[in-house]
Amino acid sequence: MRAIERGDVPTDALGQPKQYKQYENAQPDLMERLGEYCSYCERFIPTNLAVEHIQSKDNKCQPQLERSWNNFLLACTNCNSAKGTKVCDDTTQSYYYWPHLDNTFRAFVYKAGGIIKINPALNAAEQAQRTLELTGLDKHPNTSTKPTPKDKRWNHRRLAWKFAQDTKMSDCNFFC
Ligand SMILES: [Zn+2]
């Protein structure tokens, strides 16, 4: 989970902060700032990337933040549905690390086989572990929380790792 720079609310043609009539309308601005990547699992998803509400827009949580830029990230359907309505207010938000607020790249280490572990050098390991569980990034076939067939995140990480390793090996044939 890389740290991202979302920035302040974009401005309109008159230089005024944009007001989105529907939260979905913020997707192009978010993609321009963050790229077409899930803010949590980092997968490149050119279609079907949702405007993600950090604090849930559910009526029992923060419906008034439904169209608030500062409550937006981008998420794939897997990260979005794993997170659900678990982050409901400032208190629950503070239980986790956030890619727009924290140096989330340092919090985790990515291992062969698509496994994500907590960085052993990290002091606040509990917060990092909660973050993995919140987004379901701890799921892989050898855990009790196995990914569903529709959740390809673990397998995509595994393949990305393998691709990087194979590429490094073939580079070595020429340069090492
Ligand atoms: Zn994701």
Cα of 151 vs centre of ligand 1, distance in Å, is 9
pLDDT for the residue numbered 87: 98
User: Rounded to a whole number, what is the distance in angstroms from the first to the last CA of the chain?
Assistant: 30
Strands 108-111 and 50-53: unpaired
Q: Is residue 9 part of a domain?
A: no
Cα of 76 vs centre of ligand 1, distance in Å, is 4
- The total of structural domains in the chain comes to 1
pLDDT for the residue numbered 176: 62
Q: Is residue 6 part of a domain?
A: no
Residue 120: count of CB within 10 angstroms of its CB = 7
In whole angstroms, give the CA distance from residue 123 to residue 112: 24
Cβ contact 78:41 at 8 Å: yes
Residues with CB under 5 A from ligand 1 (ion): 38, 40-41, 76, 79
Per-residue pLDDT of the chain (176 residues; tens, 9 = 90+): 999 999 999 999 999 999 999 999 999 999 999 999 999 999 999 888 999 999 999 999 999 999 999 999 999 999 999 999 999 999 999 999 999 999 999 999 999 899 999 999 998 899 999 999 999 999 998 887 888 889 999 999 999 999 988 888 777 766 66
Q: Is residue 53 part of a domain?
A: yes
Cα of 17 vs centre of ligand 1, distance in Å, is 28
Q: What pTM was computed for the model?
A: 0.91
Q: Is residue 18 part of a domain?
A: no
pLDDT for the residue numbered 175: 64
Cα of 18 vs centre of ligand 1, distance in Å, is 26
Domain that holds residue 97: 23-175
Q: Is residue 16 part of a domain?
A: no
Cα of 118 vs centre of ligand 1, distance in Å, is 18
Q: Is residue 73 part of a domain?
A: yes
Cα of 162 vs centre of ligand 1, distance in Å, is 20
Q: Is residue 54 part of a domain?
A: yes
